[in-house]
Amino acid sequence: MIADSVPIEVETGPQPVASIIWLHGLGADGSDFEPIVPELGLSESPAVRFVFPHAPYRPVTVNGGATMRAWYDIAIDGRGFHQDETHIRESEQAVRKLIAQERERGIDSRRIVLAGFSQGAAVALHTGLRYPEPLAGIMALSMPVPLPERIASELNPANARVPLFLAHGTQDHVVPYPMGEYGYRLLDQLGLPVEWHSYPIDHTVSLEEIADISTWLTRVLAA
């Protein structure tokens, strides 16, 4: 199953030379982070294209089986989150198609950032670390780390040094802070260049976080 509608696109200026593919969280859609574009204050030159895809609709176990937009099914019990591997890999293929579309439009893979929030961040990280061409960076916000036991064996050498931006709220009650910290420590132990940020917030994004994201994006897209 792949996303079932055309992504929202926002360009900061004419003739974009870089792309940011940004995946929303569980139950939201591509419009969720569209308002963040002007807040990031990125330069109009060179221009950047933001691509905000929509996850497909599917039943979600953690929400009582209700159908909503979700990159994958997820359940929770006393041992923690259980993220559906088959769905994650289906979503990986959907994101790869989006990358391919940007490549066909003339964007070099080294000028493409994969980004996401919560469940979308998990898919962005999963896809980016396995992608066979070098990316500009991967940004994962408030994320439950996906398939942690598979990362080391499936990490593609092309992105073994990809810049990573990880952030999490210390008061997050949806994806508890220790989960985010665990993801950071795991990636750091694997030798990946992780930039880690924490904020005194719940499962959301703060103004301070947006400013840090802007600084990081400006740096990785200029590299």
Its domain, for residue 200, covers 8-222
pLDDT value at 2 more than 60 = no
For residue 1, tell me if it sits in a domain: no
The burial class, CB within 10 Å (0-12 / 13-18 / 19+), for 177 is middle
For residue 156, tell me if it sits in a domain: yes
pLDDT value at 157 more than 80 = yes
Instruction: Just list the catalytic residues.
Output: 118, 172, 203
How far apart CA 89 and CA 189 sit, in angstroms, is: 24
Q: What percent of the chain has pLDDT over 70?
A: 97
Residue that the structure tokens 């593609």 belong to: 156
- Whether the bond into 46 is cis, omega within 30 of 0: yes
For residue 62, tell me if it sits in a domain: yes
**H or E element at residue 128:** helix 119-130
For residue 2, tell me if it sits in a domain: no
For residue 65, tell me if it sits in a domain: yes
For residue 84, tell me if it sits in a domain: yes
For residue 179, tell me if it sits in a domain: yes
For residue 15, tell me if it sits in a domain: yes
- CATH number of domain containing 190: 3.40.50.1820
Structure tokens given for 204: 């959301």
Structure tokens given for 156: 């593609």
Domain count along the chain: 1
CB-based contact 142:121 (threshold 8 Å): yes
pLDDT per position as a tens digit, 79-114: 778 999 999 999 999 999 999 999 999 999 999 999
pLDDT per position as a tens digit, 171-214: 999 999 999 999 999 999 999 999 999 999 999 999 999 999 99
How far apart CA 83 and CA 208 sit, in angstroms, is: 30
How far apart CA 63 and CA 68 sit, in angstroms, is: 9
